[in-house]
Structure 1
Amino acid sequence: MRLSTLFSLANLPIPDFDREIDSITAQAQSAGEHSLFFCLRGAKTDGHLFAREASLRGAVVVCETPCGVPDEIIVNDTHEAYALLCAALYENPQQSIRLFAVTGTNGKTSVATTVYEILRKSGISAGLFATTGARWGTKEAALSLTTPQPFDFYRILSEMKEDGVTHVVMEASSHALDQKRLFGLQFSVAVFTNLTQDHFDYHENMVQYFCAKKKLFSMAEQAVICVDDPYGKELSESLTIPVKTVSRTGSPADYRIVSCQNDSRGVTFHVIDNAQTEHELHFGIIGDFSAENALCAVLVCTAAGISFEQAAALLQTIDTIPGRCEQIKNRLGITVLCDYAHTPDGIRNVIAAARTVTQKQLILVFGCGGDRDKTKRPLMGEAACDADFVVITSDNPRHEPPGHIMREIIQGMRPDVCYLALRDRAAAIRYALCRATPGDTVVIAGKGHEKAQDIAGKRFCFDERKLIRHLLRVMEENQHC
């Protein structure tokens, strides 16, 4: 595409020179003769520092301040221009697709995936962007970020459009919203699940974290908001767009969950709407928080033209979301749950959900990621004390010593709590499973769907669910350990 055409499609001022463009990048090493290089200012570095390298590689440089290189284009905001021009390069596929987005600390993947599944099962051609990857039809694409960078997002969205996708649901992370990766998009519905401590390695405090999340709703036509935490309540009261509110703790709301019954098949719950009509719904994933996630998903689908009753009926057919309170079946009489919980609130929620199906002891295996928010480590240790026995282990230590991370977790634990620290995650999982007896529940938290582990700057294959199934088969063959 010609540079002039590209800027015209993005509704940006057309440069006074022209050139053929076939790629857009924010990485200088990826720049080439027919590429646009964007100088993006980040938390740790400034892309303007790499403008000369990109120019020497033949790229056209887009910057906010002059970099002194040939053929540079100066714009007010490179983040905004980056998003708009990536969309333009793929001929603005978002203009013919209805978009839905979910934000919050916990529950984003569960809500987004449930919306996708209901849409798909209703006959709508749907697509999904989630922490677990992108999916549409029979196709899948791995994502390195929960919310992709604009170039990757529009590349996949364009392919979805070519394949006939008409509705796309996605997770909107606070990082993506802060970095304007979604700039220029319009969402039919935006969902807010909750806000608890996370990402303090990026956001300085809860106020900044909330402000980043709140940006999504300036791009939405309607909202679905859980009002059980003060941030959700504040958000619902500040918006001028139509809002449907949800509560499971008795807070005033348009849709109130008044009872939940959990068993091995999932959660059955009753909802009273603002017309005082009562509905019974069933979702195949245990936990009162799962009921809340499911209700949010149903309300999103009603905005897509599906009746509440049809969406509720299709909800009953969903029994698994990869790595989200996922039950790993076995013949040993123990309940095994694999979950992505990696925040204090997430740990508390999954333990509470597991309690509803636990006859005897609840054993928890978890760790904390390295090079991330260190302040939540003792808080996660404190939350883990709700279990009967805790195995503290490695998660994704990245460049930090696993033992150091584990010690910071232990600092938050009560002295009366029984625990064991094992650095090797596979050994920790094996120990927990072998310790369990019929009637016990083992919760393995932190990695969920992930298939790799980041250790000392290297990425190692580590499919946790596959490992758990293998260990359970061996135990079944040997009648336990």
Structure 2
Amino acid sequence: MSVDDPEYPSPNIRDCRRLQGPNRYGPAPGAVVTVAVVDDEARRAVDHWPYAARRLTQALGWENIEFVARHSIGDATCYLSAPIDGLMTATAVAEMAWVESEAYVDQREVPDAAPALRAQYAEERARHPHVRELEAGALTRGVAFSIDDEAVSVGSGRGVITWAHGEAPASASVAWDSVSDIPLIMVTGSNGKTTTTRLIAAMWRAAGATTGWSCSDGVFVESDVEKHTLGLGDYTGPGGTRLVMRDADVQVGVLETARGGMLRRGLGTTNATVAVITNISADHFGEYGVHTLEDLADVKAVMIRALRPEARLVLNADDATLVALGERLATVHTVPIVWFSMNADTELVADGIDAHGDGAVLHDGHLMVCREGVWGDAGRVSEMPVTADGAARHNVENALAAALTASCSGVSLSAVHVALRRFGAALHDNAGRLERYAFGGITVFVDYAHNPEGIRALCATAAAVPATRRGLVLGNAGDRDDDQLRALARAAWSVAPFERVIVKEMVSLLRGRPAGELPALLVDELRRVGAPTNCVSISASEFEAVHELLAWAQVGDVLVVPTHAERGRVTGYLEQLRTIGWRAGDSLPDSSFTA
């Protein structure tokens, strides 16, 4: 293909991708094509797409294929399930079915794509021998199956076997008696995913298990005596899941599972023990057909497609969107739902305990966990470092989610208690999430807060700390729409006024917006809600914004610093200031510092 060739066979195709595991459209792998829908003709083409796709899959000899054509705002998604050894061919089927559907509406002829698709599928099957029968063998035996572009595996952790593509044996040759699964815990939500993931991993380590976990910072394997890194960066998609599952040292896997990975590639496992959804709030609207909180909740709920029959789904009873989700799921799924709440009298928690024996609440300052009908005390919240003496209410909620989820996956209450008493005592236990620096007469809160609810929780925690003045760095990535960005500014200002707000530009996260547009929008909203003109300014980068705020600071100030683009540089600079004994009001070291 030359650089001038179009990526897709129709200009109305926006995206086409493989889904390598359970996904939003069904439990089976497949392919999904997103198409622009701007008129009635395009809507008719979407409605015809399943018929065109069925004709092509029948020509390939594929049986029991599911088809979904779903309209959205300005576009539509068309999905077909497919054999695991034909996912690339499935993307071609999805695209060519759209071409045929457009031709059907326009009443014109197009060449039959079936012969070329048959040839493509034959080549693809030759590159991936035996994967279909390995998938069937794993399903029959109730163990996990996973596949990516490099390898295929059955089982997980200490019970895994992995082969490179082209080397996978026939199912009859596999030593299935040695294949098994470790407990796998999936964590998602709009806020608190990484903290909850790290807490659950810490609870399992306190129970003595070598624990692997994937999160937005990387993939790690850790026991009480050693820790090693499998990858650094955002591993909240199926790639992180597979790295954990394919490490033979791992006894328990804890998997942060973000919306983006589920939508782009599906889930990375088929055999999870517990799944938890921490909360739902407005974020990433307009992407992949997600336009409402209900849409977002339904995407998060994709995790239930990977749960074992006896598994638990843990939900937040204080989140109205998740309460509604639980009601919808109860009518179409049999997965047991259990609940946690900051209110000890929440009826949903009691209902979950009556039905399934499990639940968790905050009661009289203590985190109480019910497992198999028996209540236990996981500790006083004010003694849990991650809660900042109880001031960080959002981390109290995360601790509830983690304690119930870990308990449902097999962790004893004593191990939960130990982990909650220890986690967060060291500054970088929860790197990038509510890290509290106290030095030089000031307090600095560093956090990843990236949406209105997250920034509101961060500012509320900081507001609970006495301060002479308060300063804030504010910004976000450019892929949020204008309404979400304005809501971010309103959320920050709604908790308590700041004497200084520095809005940051992040060139690496413009994501299609022109430089300067996003900071100008945030400044406009801040002024609209009452921020004085002389307290708000714009800085050219995240680090420069933090440096400017530190230069402004005086003894007694509290600074709130959400970091998204240069966290390592920011925290490294703060560590440097603490090490050299810098005090607020002193001149600052050279801002050219790099971590």
Pair in the same fold by TM > 0.5: yes
Q: In the alignment, is residue 72 of structure 1 matched against residue 91 of structure 2?
A: no
CA RMSD of aligned residues (A): 3.4
Identify the match of residue 315 of structure 1 among 417, 420, 424. Answer: 420
Counterpart in the other structure of 2:354: none
Counterpart in the other structure of 2:3: none
Contact 2:284 2:479 in 1 (8 A): no
Contact 2:360 2:367 in 1 (8 A): no
Counterpart in the other structure of 2:399: 294
Contact 2:434 2:447 in 1 (8 A): yes
Counterpart in the other structure of 2:216: 131
Counterpart in the other structure of 1:284: 385
Counterpart in the other structure of 2:324: 234
Counterpart in the other structure of 1:459: none
Once residues 88 and 304 of structure 2 are traced to their aligned partners in structure 1, the CA distance between those partners, rounded to angstroms, is 32
Q: Please give the residue correspondences for 1:87-126 in structure 2 after superposition, counting only pairs within 5 Å.
A: 89-94=151-156, 95-126=180-211
SS in 1 for 2:325: helix
Once residues 431 and 392 of structure 1 are traced to their aligned partners in structure 2, the CA distance between those partners, rounded to angstroms, is 11
More helix by share: 2
Contact 1:222 1:243 in 2 (8 A): yes
TM-score, normalization by structure 2: 0.61
Aligned residue type for 1:384:
A
Alpha-carbon spacing, 1:87–1:153, altered in 2? closer, same or farther (3 Å) = farther
The alpha-carbon deviation at position 155 of structure 1 amounts to: 4.8
Identify the match of residue 174 of structure 1 among 221, 242, 259. Answer: 259
Q: In the alignment, is residue 432 of structure 1 matched against residue 432 of structure 2?
A: no
Count of equivalent residues: 406
SS in 2 for 1:428: helix
The alpha-carbon deviation at position 255 of structure 1 amounts to: 2.4
Q: Please give the residue correspondences for 1:145-160 in structure 2 after superposition, counting only pairs within 5 Å.
A: 145-150=234-239, 153-155=241-243, 157-158=245-246, 160=247
Identify the match of residue 513 of structure 2 among 383, 392, 400. Answer: 400
Contact 2:214 2:244 in 1 (8 A): no
Identify the match of residue 560 of structure 2 among 421, 443, 446. Answer: 443
Tell me the alpha carbon deviations over residues 126-154 of structure 1, each in whole angstroms, 9 at most, x when there is no partner. 1001011100033213355442345x643
Counterpart in the other structure of 2:90: 63
Contact 2:214 2:255 in 1 (8 A): yes
Once residues 361 and 116 of structure 1 are traced to their aligned partners in structure 2, the CA distance between those partners, rounded to angstroms, is 37
Contact 1:379 1:409 in 2 (8 A): no
Structure with higher Rg: it is 2
Once residues 476 and 300 of structure 1 are traced to their aligned partners in structure 2, the CA distance between those partners, rounded to angstroms, is 42
The alpha-carbon deviation at position 114 of structure 1 amounts to: 0.8
Alpha-carbon spacing, 1:373–1:473, altered in 2? closer, same or farther (3 Å) = farther
Alpha-carbon spacing, 1:394–1:223, altered in 2? closer, same or farther (3 Å) = same
Once residues 183 and 130 of structure 1 are traced to their aligned partners in structure 2, the CA distance between those partners, rounded to angstroms, is 14
Once residues 243 and 230 of structure 1 are traced to their aligned partners in structure 2, the CA distance between those partners, rounded to angstroms, is 15
TM-score, normalization by structure 1: 0.75
Contact 2:237 2:258 in 1 (8 A): no
The alpha-carbon deviation at position 217 of structure 1 amounts to: 2.3
Once residues 195 and 186 of structure 1 are traced to their aligned partners in structure 2, the CA distance between those partners, rounded to angstroms, is 24
Is there any run of 5+ residues in structure 2 with no aligned partner, and where? Answer: 1-16, 19-28, 37-52, 54-85, 94-112, 125-130, 136-144, 157-179, 350-358, 588-595
Q: Please give the residue correspondences for 1:414-429 in structure 2 after superposition, counting only pairs within 5 Å.
A: 414-417=529-532, 418-429=535-546
Identify the match of residue 224 of structure 1 among 306, 314, 327. Answer: 314
Contact 1:227 1:236 in 2 (8 A): no
SS in 2 for 1:328: strand
Alpha-carbon spacing, 1:366–1:142, altered in 2? closer, same or farther (3 Å) = farther
Q: Name whichever of 272-281 and 232-241 sits farther off.
A: 272-281
Q: In the alignment, is residue 464 of structure 1 matched against residue 570 of structure 2?
A: yes
Counterpart in the other structure of 1:21: none
Tell me the alpha carbon deviations over residues 175-194 of structure 1, each in whole angstroms, 9 at most, x when there is no partner. 22234521651211111111
The alpha-carbon deviation at position 256 of structure 1 amounts to: 2.1
Contact 2:270 2:305 in 1 (8 A): no
Identify the match of residue 338 of structure 2 among 217, 225, 244. Answer: 244
Contact 1:39 1:62 in 2 (8 A): no
Counterpart in the other structure of 2:81: none
The alpha-carbon deviation at position 276 of structure 1 amounts to: 6.9
The alpha-carbon deviation at position 390 of structure 1 amounts to: 1.8
The alpha-carbon deviation at position 247 of structure 1 amounts to: 1.2
